[in-house]
Amino acid sequence: MKSRIMYIECKGHEISGPARIGRVTFSKSGKSLYYQGRRFHTLSGSGFKANYADSETRVQYWISGCKRRGGDRLYSGTIEIDEDVREEYWTKIRNLPDQKDKKLIRCVGKYY
């Protein structure tokens, strides 16, 4: 299965929630994603500021590609970077290899 480093934000019952950067694996159809042993199915445009839901708990998430400039959050907050993708994220996506040991990002967000 194909994998990619992506931004994952739990929406739960709020507009903004805990966020991570981690490796996501895609199903063959692309309608499902897998992250940390959980399966997420697409909401096909029916979610409010969310595009996927945990298939077991139904909790909604925003899952998207990482932005090169780091502005992944819609609202301000902290983003945790999974250890297994940290070096690749900082060197290949952000092009900031000197930051490769940084575990957290403070993101201003589109809406302060």
Which two three-digit tokens encode residue 29? 């159809």
For 90, the 3-state DSSP assignment is helix
Number of domains, the chain: 1
Q: Could you tell me the residue range of the domain that residue 53 belongs to? A: 3-107
Does a structural domain hold residue 82?
yes
Evaluate whether residue 90 is within a structural domain.
yes
pLDDT in tens, 13-34: 777 889 999 999 999 988 899 9
Give the per-residue pLDDT at 82.
98
Q: Which amino acid is residue 87, in one-letter code? A: E
In a domain, residue 112? The reply is no
pLDDT tens digits along 40-55: 999 987 667 789 999 9
Distance CA 49, CA 86 (A): 26
Q: What is the pLDDT of residue 74?
A: 84
Query: Across the strands, what pairs with 63?
Result: 8
* 103 found inside a domain: yes
Global confidence as pTM: 0.90
DSSP letter assigned to residue 60: E
